[in-house]
Structure 1
Amino acid sequence: MEAQQQHSSIISRAVLELSDEASYQALFHSRRDEEALPSGETLKRIVDLCRAILFPGYYGSARINKQTIRYHLGVLVETLHGLLTKEIQAGLCFADASCESCGDQLTTEAAALSEQFIAALPQLRHMLATDAEATYNSDPAAQNLGEIIFCYPGFRAICNYRIAHQLDQLGVPYIPRIITELAHSETGIDIHPRARIGHHFSIDHGTGTVIGETSVIGNYVRIFQGVSLAGEKFPPDENGNAIRGVDRHPIVGDHVTIYSNATLLGHIHVGDGATIFGNVWLTHDVAAGESVYQRT
């Protein structure tokens, strides 16, 4: 009996402390009626649908052939549109603290954004085809393009990034970051959806790779595991807050290779055709065609 009373007292005290407004004020989201938050589980399904649409036959359970591909893709695209519209609406509602209702106006806006994303899927497939080609051409261990598409974690992370970047370009809140974090959890590769990355991009192995928000990467760039395109830390503003909205990550030119565990810090410029070797800590510009080694 005494143990039960002690247990009840501990539980009650914990609930009382957790219910104190001063404790949760900055961590609490007051949800309005009929408001739904974006769902990580649904967004994972959306990414799977995108993969099935972009790479038919590699993803999805349907047995697609050239005679049935139009039908299957039609079903997949319609399903994607419905799910994505709901998630975009949830993101828009969550992002607008003054929104008093999540009704027809937001539904119409979310549906239009979903349609714009779907209209961009052919171009998205073209970009990813260049990434698959670049990955295959740069890796002698790869047997064929199918192995790249189906197996390589670097390519999977790039796929998530390209989906998320397109949604971010459309002004969709929250959803792009969740999609890149899904890839981060799956592959250990962290690419911010707002980074700008050209065609024929490849990530070899990739675990621990980080590409920050304002990074700009040219065409035909290859990077390895553990590479960081990291942001410079600025002093706080007059109110002690972090300075936001400024370029603080590297700009990498075309045909650049960055080997494992190199860190490029700040808004530096790496010229076309440069090579950055492993374990380099780089805080200055690199000329076109230059090779940078770790020096002892």
Structure 2
Amino acid sequence: MSSYNFEPPSDSVRINWQLGDAVAELRKRRSKWRSDQQRANELNGRELPSPTVVRESIAKVIQALFPMRLGPADLREESEDFYVGYTLDVAFNSLFEQARLELDYAARRGIGESCPKRQRDCAERIIKGFAMALPDIRARLDDDIVAAYRGDPAARSVDEVLLCYPGVEAIIHHRLAHYFYSEGLMMLARIISEQAHSATGIDIHPGATIGRSFFIDHGTGVVIGETAIIGDNVRIYQAVTLGAKRFPEAEDGHLEKGQPRHPIVEDDVVIYAGATILGRVTIGKGAVVGGNVWLTRGVPAGCNVSQASTANGKPIQQSPLL
């Protein structure tokens, strides 16, 4: 259990900030929020996963996936297995507690099991499944790293790609987050994906389905939506958006959740910098989408689409669209 020392250092200057009114008003704001959100009668204690704990736990998992490159500097191969086992054990115990918190939170809102034992059993099952999924996740990440190395003439080694490329950092977090999303732990998944988003500027929703050998070059400003489906051997560049064209509303006026609204990108597609593709459209196998192209219709397999222009400034469509 963590302990907190609220005493200032002995040599610090003591200032009376007169915080009584601020503390009281903040308490009122918390009470109003909890009442508005119908949380006033809930039990004391933390009710949501901790982003700090999740971040630390996922960092441990990533180190265990690549121990000799992302693990501690003094690690030796003879102790590699021990390090991996110990590190994963620590990470999984923390993730188990965060998963249980999310399941408890969902149960209090009428989602999922209302029995604490069943929530605990479910959390245990999910984390055990995560452990079993790690070898396949590692294999997929190996493919992603090789794709980045082969796809970038500036890359000197696969190790440089793993240690330095923001697109690789983003896809590592995505593949871990996608597991939790698939198991229904949406909040845990979003926390993981947003950590990578903050660090890299690459925003991949954990619900997006991404095939093997995926490479984001440069990466800043890339956005990939929740229901996007991306095939194998796809390469995209910075500032690409795979987004939604419109957001249907339900009868109550709120936006509909979970509807397919993002693009499908088939195998072997290349999408260059600044391209924006919106809606549930399909970019066919082997197509190339040029820089700064705006698409709201599908592209046939093998088609090249570039920004349209003519000498008099009137746009023309250079390649057929579906």
User: TM-score, length-normalised on structure 1?
Assistant: 0.89
Q: Is the aligned partner of 1:45 residue 2:43?
A: no
Q: Is the 8 A contact 2:68 2:77 kept in 1?
A: no
Q: Is the 8 A contact 1:81 1:111 kept in 2?
A: no
Residues 147 and 18 (structure 1), Cα distance of their counterparts in 2 relative to 1, 3 Å cut: same
Three-state SS of the structure 2 residue aligned to 1:264 is strand
Alignment partners' CA distance in 2, 1:106 and 1:13: 36
Cα deviation digits, residues 173-208 of structure 1 (max 9, x gap): 310011000111111111011110000000011111
Q: Is the aligned partner of 1:214 residue 2:233?
A: no
Residues 70 and 12 (structure 1), Cα distance of their counterparts in 2 relative to 1, 3 Å cut: closer
Q: How does 1:44-193 map to 2 (within 5 A)?
A: 44-61=55-72, 63-98=74-109, 103-193=116-206
Q: Is the 8 A contact 1:164 1:177 kept in 2?
A: yes
Mean Cα deviation higher: 264-273 or 87-96: 87-96
Cα offset for 1:25? 4.9
Three-state SS of the structure 2 residue aligned to 1:294 is coil
Q: Is the 8 A contact 2:245 2:296 kept in 1?
A: no
How much is the aligned-residue C-alpha RMSD, in angstroms?
2.5
Q: How does 1:10-21 map to 2 (within 5 A)?
A: 18=29, 21=32
Cα offset for 1:54? 1.0
- In the alignment, what sits opposite 2:265? 252
Unmatched 5+ residue regions in structure 2?
Answer: 1-17, 310-322
Cα offset for 1:106? 2.5
Q: Which runs of 4+ in 1 moved over 6 A?
A: 7-10, 99-102
Mean Cα deviation higher: 23-32 or 51-60: 23-32
Unmatched 5+ residue regions in structure 1?
Answer: 1-6
Three-state SS of the structure 1 residue aligned to 2:220 is coil
Alignment partners' CA distance in 2, 1:15 and 1:39: 21
Cα offset for 1:20? 7.7
Q: Is the 8 A contact 2:58 2:91 kept in 1?
A: no
Three-state SS of the structure 1 residue aligned to 2:186 is coil
Cα offset for 1:27? 5.4
Aligned length: 289
Q: Relative contact order, CA 8 A, sep 6+: which one is greater?
A: 1
Cα deviation digits, residues 91-143 of structure 1 (max 9, x gap): 11122225798854432321221111011000000000000000000001111
Residues 66 and 215 (structure 1), Cα distance of their counterparts in 2 relative to 1, 3 Å cut: same
Alignment partners' CA distance in 2, 1:120 and 1:279: 37
Alignment partners' CA distance in 1, 2:56 and 2:27: 38
Which amino acid is 1:253 matched to? E
User: TM-score, length-normalised on structure 2?
Assistant: 0.82
Cα offset for 1:238? 2.9
Which amino acid is 1:239 matched to? D
